[in-house]
Structure formats: structure tokens, C-alpha cells
């Protein structure tokens, strides 16, 4: 055994084209727990190992725990890389989708505020009145009464 479990976990995360954060999310464990293992501060708990093997069944448990054999069972390294890549990008898409939903909520609020302003300007609002006697001269329409278009 020439490597530690910390080094093997770090190598595994890189093999799956993930970072510590995306790997932690993939196995539904905290970033701090995985980061602590990768840095060699703690050893992985049974729960962490179980989550890894459940999420990534192609990982060779003997390799991860003892450093013996190949990292992946059989010859499925390319599949594991693709899955890791997809998993990482799925997480990024979910984060971006959440941001877009928040932006939509803000835009909806802005639209509602603008609609209230428009209603007030055309006199639909009960709290604001508009003086309809104001006229604006425009070269194309001659006279436009505020809120109503009338030919001259």
C-alpha cells in the first residue's frame, strides 16, 4: 500500500472530473466532511464509505480502503469520467436554475410595480388621479390627450 486513503479519495475525485464540493453533493455529505478526509485530517466514516460505494458502484472498495487492485471494477474508467462530468454539470445547472428562478421573482415584482404605475397614469388606480386636460402636441398625431389618442 503506497498511498493513503486520503490520497486515493483525492485521486478518485479527480478521476471522476469532480471537485470536493461536487463530490460531496453527489454522495449527499457535507463539503467539510469530504474536505477533511481529502486533507488527511480525518479518516472516512462508515457512512461516507457507504455513500461513496452506493453512488459509485463501479469503485473497487478494496482499492479505496487498502490501495490494492484497480480503482474501478472492470474497465469502466471512461464511463466513470463521463458520469462525473455529467454529475458536476448537473449540479451547476441546478444552481443556475435556482438563480434564474430568483431573478424571475424579482422581475415579476418589477413588472407588478410598473403595471401599478401604468394604471395610475391612465387613471385606473383609485389612489392616484390624472389631469386629463393636459395635451401634448406631436408632429405625427397633432394632439394626443394623455391616456387617449384623438385625431385633430
Nearest in space to 64 (alpha carbons), one of 46, 87, 82? 46
Tens of pLDDT, residues 45-83:
999 999 999 998 888 898 888 888 888 886 555 556 667
Q: Does the domain spanning 5-118 belong to CATH 1.10.1610.10?
A: no
- Structural domain spans, the chain: 5-118
Region 14-26 average pLDDT: 90
pTM > 0.75: no
Q: What is the DSSP string of 13-56?
A: HHHTT--HHHHHHHTT--HHHHHHHHTTSSPPPHHHHHHHHHH-
Tens of pLDDT, residues 69-124:
888 886 555 556 667 778 888 888 999 999 999 999 989 988 988 888 888 888 76
Half-sphere exposure of 109 (CA within 13 A, CB side): 6
Phi/psi of residue 108, nearest 5 degrees: -60, -40
Task: Give strand pairing partners of 144.
Answer: 136, 149
Amino acid at each position: 500500500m503506497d498511498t493513503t486513503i486520503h490520497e486515493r479519495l483525492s485521486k478518485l475525485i479527480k478521476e471522476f472530473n469532480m471537485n470536493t464540493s461536487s463530490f460531496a453533493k453527489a454522495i449527499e455529505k457535507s463539503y467539510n466532511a469530504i474536505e477533511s478526509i481529502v486533507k488527511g485530517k480525518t479518516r472516512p466514516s462508515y457512512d461516507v464509505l457507504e455513500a461513496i460505494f452506493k453512488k459509485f458502484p463501479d469503485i473497487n472498495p478494496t482499492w479505496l480502503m487498502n490501495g490494492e487492485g484497480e480503482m474501478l471494477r472492470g474497465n469502466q474508467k471512461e464511463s466513470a469520467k463521463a458520469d462525473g462530468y455529467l454529475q458536476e454539470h448537473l449540479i451547476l445547472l441546478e444552481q443556475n436554475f435556482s438563480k434564474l428562478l430568483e431573478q424571475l421573482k424579482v422581475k415579476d415584482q418589477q413588472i407588478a410595480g410598473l403595471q401599478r404605475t401604468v394604471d395610475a397614469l391612465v387613471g385606473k388606480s383609485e389612489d392616484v388621479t390624472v389631469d386629463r386636460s393636459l395635451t401634448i402636441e406631436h408632429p405625427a398625431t397633432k394632439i394626443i390627450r394623455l391616456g387617449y389618442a384623438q385625431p385633430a
